[in-house]
Structure 1
């Protein structure tokens, strides 16, 4: 019989069961079955694979540390073959395979001792002194409340930090008071070694190979609290993210940070819970809302949107602070990508500031281009499916969905309403005027179409984070024709002249077309936020490809454009189904935009009609109400199945069999509306 080298408890060996995770074991056996699951072992990196790292435990056993067990991406792991590392054995399969888990401790000094794990039993290394059997005297107990006295009757367990503590208790029924004095999270640094009480909301729960980690937020910040039942087993399984709780424990400094070793964790009584909610809401609102956001430039179109811009920035900040993921959906256009990148540029530093996880910026922020121009049922169904799966599998909170350059027209209503069914917060940032979905979403939408979505998004981004200097040039990038001088001046001050702005716009437009469903986060960032001339040459190179491809296609289609006069309006019709390279760059919408700009120099009033197999797009010098156009064409061709399928791009859909009739009717009616 010996004594535990950590606490002095009598044990068969050198470390008690409660402190197995506090020491590093050196394995001298020769068979996987001699390993003890739950223990942390010293190992050596044997090799790498796409799915993880092979680690030698001792001289005769190799285990796999799967990439899913890492707290960072495999490619960012700074290990080399032959390096000494520390891993936790989580299991030994019947076929001898050894499963390993990540250890945040990667140095012997981060453990509280080293022990040899041999087939003959545990022992200290030969150069270690024999542990003394004397233990320090127990401190005199502090005066106890009735609640604490009841806690003393329950069996002991230990936390991940190695301090003796109370076994997780039943949370059946709320409690009325907590024993020690309440301490706010921002004061934990001054409370190391003390027994304290925290009251707040559980914002995240994650199970490690050892303890269960509860992230608890009060009105001053969030703290990680470790609760241990046994290795890899969920402590307090009845406590979920979102619960209002009172937690008692001891503050310890672990691995360079502060962690509370949980002694008890219980739900708050109703009155106490209401007080906590009020404190949290007040503090969160004060922290999240940016107040008045100074616009990037004086713009009359923004004059009536100052409150909406500040509220949108506050909603984004609040989601990050509450550990809610943000899903940003935008059109796969230059304006959509640039606007989305502006918000992304502000959100990612905030995510990294609020969350310690290595992959936090990928876990809590997801920018996804849309396949179409509206947030329709297809997009919403994809998002809802993913978020429900993440909630079921990972206990992830429902996200904030930010719709950029989409979402304000009625065509997005069905998708937004599906989010509403699940009480998912929705935010629209869209330059398409009208805000027809304002009853089902909050947002920033102007009364007219004189500005781009990027102008709105960039101003929102300035409220989210301190990125004004980084994104000042983006509004100018989003204008296909000459940008307003106020935004051109901002770009020049940031070092982007007219040619550089054009190159950025064209480069983003080209990359937006290829792999349109991908966010291309790093590539877009390289294009838009280049730090030197060498990197900026990337935009110049891609822009040359854009111009060459677009000019070639314009030259190809020009002979096939049929132009006729309808009164004082010129109507140019292009059969894009027959006379374009349909599955190559540029896409039809961008080609028609360019064709319209070219032809407008020749005509005062112009309508351009692009006709696919069962789809028609309109461009006009005068604003055309696409829904009115669709109604009038449907009256003229009642069997054509004519619908306004995209008001942003002047898009109508119809039945293939009535193609020529729809073409003729649409051309005449569009000319009439443009007259």
Structure 2
């Protein structure tokens, strides 16, 4: 029977009693039983339940518009030896989207019988009837004739060509429309022209993400379950696509009927249209300032260039990866960028979960973007490119990557073609400009940025990226300063309803959360703290911060060794012996707090093979490391992170190295 050959086009009503009676590859009608973090449980019959794992979905689990008891269609992927049933996603979620319906009754006489429209399956809503295929059905699902029929001996390739020609003929008279008009064209067959910016293969159709001058939309093309449609179409292809506009679970989608790659003059016309629209939309006219600042004015052009690069990445459907230090200032800076970019992604992409595909924040343990960090990022981006046909990302380094210690990591990104932008209000090396497309740093522009935090600079950049969010960001500068924030930013926050106590609570709460699970972005939690909290959450977390920090400061203070180096008072703390190394606060934050509370000229925190410098006056960390290395040549002394004041040495020469570092620092501070 022909339905046996083409079971992928038929759904089944399962009336068996054992998972082992299911047939892998078949589509079954089921009922949503419940949800878990890892997927959806679907009942296929009384006593037989399968799991549709979230990895099998073509969208985020949270975006499924399913409720317990809803009728859904799934494909049986595998039945395990223990009876567990693995299910796969079906793009077709109504009975009439299939080309037939059958009973699977392994213990009864009805097995294989067709389910007719009058409800032979016992379910009033299930009545798809086996119909004569239309040209559009054939284009989506392939030929459905008996293989033994002499008139049906056409090869699959010939049938596919015939179907494609028929579909093209049906849509030959269509006029091109823009993606941003599709909301008003649901149910219509339309023509789109643009660039393919994403391709993903689901267990059902191939989904192409097409971007034109007005936006992007997912276009599903089906030839056979799990089989790549239009294999010649890749990310970067300039195409013409005809299809019917549908709305699935509140998301627009185009069911592809014809798709062709454009070339020569036609492709050039579309590319010019995209480029002109991109340039016009991507570049801001001016910097959107929060307050007047000479340091910000000095980097105005750089801010506009960086904002254009970010906006262009969104418009090109290029993922944006923000790397920032896992500190309060770093999180404030990263969250500001996130606040500006997410609305642009939502406006650009029809998919409800696009913001999770096209924007990521990844905190760094320190302020150096090293080879370890770069290797992790390159591995992820190459996997996303190969598995999901994603474009290589824009990597935005905020408060990190600005010194030559990060050159190797930046260089690795560059080898693979990832775009790099560095934003840092503090120390930066001019040589880094050769390792990235743009760097925003007031010091390199010749400005005095002593009163400018990276959080403030990033908030200004964010407002320039999307001026609509400026009012959401005005309190962030005051949150980003550990010392006394400039009065202008304190006043700005107060006008927005954030007094000094509240900004302090936010700062401390962010610092505590930045430490725990420091490799996670904690998007929703940070959003709740910085933008949604009425005071309760930040106050609760801030209290824990203060208790933990005060206890650690007391312990450290009791175990500080005081030295006199000339006229300077130097305090040395063995952080391995007299801190809780794997609990809050981290060493850098503890030493910062000791520096604020104590009167020493220099504080040195000493670990197994590294030390941190905190001085009342500016200290040249590289110079100190170089001088110390000259004093003890066999200790391997080197500056590891200028921004963090960290110097490394060989653990076997720890005592000699520390003595050399203390003496060298005292000489330079004298």
Both structures adopt the same fold (TM-score exceeding 0.5): yes
Q: Which of 298, 301, 304 lines up with 1:304 in the alignment?
A: 298
- Once the two structures are overlaid, the 10-residue window that deviates more, 481-490 or 428-437, is 428-437
Match of 1:526?
528
Per-residue CA shift, 1:426-470, capped at 9, x if unaligned?
Answer: 111112233431111113222144211101111111123322222
Match of 2:514?
512
1:198–1:169 CA distance, 2 compared to 1 (3 A): farther
Q: Which of 238, 243, 261 lines up with 2:237 in the alignment?
A: 243
Match of 1:157?
138
1:290–1:169 CA distance, 2 compared to 1 (3 A): farther
**Whole-Å separation in 2 of the counterparts to 1:38 and 1:294:** 56
How far apart are 1:392 and its partner, in Å? Answer: 2.0
How far apart are 1:314 and its partner, in Å? Answer: 2.4
Pair 1:211-2:198 in alignment: no
**Whole-Å separation in 2 of the counterparts to 1:254 and 1:575:** 63
**Whole-Å separation in 1 of the counterparts to 2:114 and 2:132:** 21
How far apart are 1:303 and its partner, in Å? Answer: 0.6
Per-residue CA shift, 1:524-554, capped at 9, x if unaligned?
Answer: 222222342xxx2222222222222222222
Match of 1:503?
505
Given that 2:100 and 2:114 are in contact with CA atoms closer than 8 Å, whether structure 1 keeps it comes out as no
Given that 1:331 and 1:371 are in contact with CA atoms closer than 8 Å, whether structure 2 keeps it comes out as yes
Match of 1:84?
70
**Whole-Å separation in 2 of the counterparts to 1:324 and 1:544:** 40
Q: Please list, as runs of the form range in 1=range in 2, the aligned pairs for 1:119-138 lying within 5 A after superposition.
A: 119-126=111-118
How far apart are 1:492 and its partner, in Å? Answer: 0.6
**Whole-Å separation in 2 of the counterparts to 1:132 and 1:295:** 63
1:622–1:61 CA distance, 2 compared to 1 (3 A): closer
**Whole-Å separation in 2 of the counterparts to 1:73 and 1:258:** 15
How far apart are 1:381 and its partner, in Å? Answer: 0.7
Pair 1:55-2:48 in alignment: no
Pair 1:613-2:599 in alignment: no
Given that 1:65 and 1:99 are in contact with CA atoms closer than 8 Å, whether structure 2 keeps it comes out as yes
Match of 2:583?
584
Pair 1:458-2:483 in alignment: no
SS in 2 for 1:159: helix
Report the number of matched residues. Answer: 630
Pair 1:674-2:657 in alignment: no
1:223–1:577 CA distance, 2 compared to 1 (3 A): closer
Q: Which of 654, 657, 668 lines up with 1:659 in the alignment?
A: 654
Given that 1:71 and 1:357 are in contact with CA atoms closer than 8 Å, whether structure 2 keeps it comes out as no
- Once the two structures are overlaid, the 10-residue window that deviates more, 352-361 or 36-45, is 36-45
Pair 1:472-2:465 in alignment: no
Pair 1:318-2:299 in alignment: no
**Whole-Å separation in 2 of the counterparts to 1:425 and 1:100:** 39
Per-residue CA shift, 1:54-106, capped at 9, x if unaligned?
Answer: 3233557544322222355557766565x132113254659787653335666
SS in 2 for 1:309: helix
**Whole-Å separation in 1 of the counterparts to 2:230 and 2:97:** 26
**Alignment root-mean-square deviation, CA:** 3.9
Q: Which of 623, 632, 648 lines up with 1:637 in the alignment?
A: 632
1:204–1:90 CA distance, 2 compared to 1 (3 A): farther
SS in 2 for 1:121: coil
Match of 1:6?
none
Q: Please list, as runs of the form range in 1=range in 2, the aligned pairs for 1:3-14 lying within 5 A after superposition.
A: none
**Whole-Å separation in 2 of the counterparts to 1:125 and 1:527:** 54
How far apart are 1:199 and its partner, in Å? Answer: 2.7
**Whole-Å separation in 2 of the counterparts to 1:257 and 1:169:** 31
Match of 2:571?
572
1:27–1:673 CA distance, 2 compared to 1 (3 A): same
Given that 1:182 and 1:199 are in contact with CA atoms closer than 8 Å, whether structure 2 keeps it comes out as no
1:65–1:545 CA distance, 2 compared to 1 (3 A): closer
- Once the two structures are overlaid, the 10-residue window that deviates more, 259-268 or 454-463, is 259-268
Given that 2:31 and 2:44 are in contact with CA atoms closer than 8 Å, whether structure 1 keeps it comes out as yes
Gaps of 5+ in 1: 1-10, 139-151
Given that 2:7 and 2:26 are in contact with CA atoms closer than 8 Å, whether structure 1 keeps it comes out as no
**Whole-Å separation in 2 of the counterparts to 1:613 and 1:194:** 68
Match of 2:408?
414
1:349–1:189 CA distance, 2 compared to 1 (3 A): closer
SS in 2 for 1:158: helix
How far apart are 1:354 and its partner, in Å? Answer: 2.8
Match of 1:43?
30
Pair 1:66-2:74 in alignment: no
**Whole-Å separation in 1 of the counterparts to 2:517 and 2:187:** 54
Q: Please list, as runs of the form range in 1=range in 2, the aligned pairs for 1:481-496 lying within 5 A after superposition.
A: 481-496=483-498
Q: Which of 590, 601, 620 lines up with 1:625 in the alignment?
A: 620
Given that 1:250 and 1:261 are in contact with CA atoms closer than 8 Å, whether structure 2 keeps it comes out as yes
SS in 1 for 2:435: coil
**Whole-Å separation in 2 of the counterparts to 1:318 and 1:37:** 45
Q: TM-score scaled to structure 1, two decimals?
A: 0.82
**Whole-Å separation in 2 of the counterparts to 1:617 and 1:98:** 55
Given that 2:637 and 2:648 are in contact with CA atoms closer than 8 Å, whether structure 1 keeps it comes out as yes
- Once the two structures are overlaid, the 10-residue window that deviates more, 311-320 or 189-198, is 189-198
**Whole-Å separation in 2 of the counterparts to 1:529 and 1:257:** 27
Given that 1:253 and 1:259 are in contact with CA atoms closer than 8 Å, whether structure 2 keeps it comes out as yes
Pair 1:446-2:442 in alignment: yes
1:665–1:571 CA distance, 2 compared to 1 (3 A): same
SS in 2 for 1:328: strand
**Whole-Å separation in 1 of the counterparts to 2:476 and 2:365:** 23
**Whole-Å separation in 1 of the counterparts to 2:269 and 2:313:** 22
Match of 1:553?
552
Gaps of 5+ in 2: 104-109, 144-157
**Whole-Å separation in 2 of the counterparts to 1:92 and 1:666:** 63
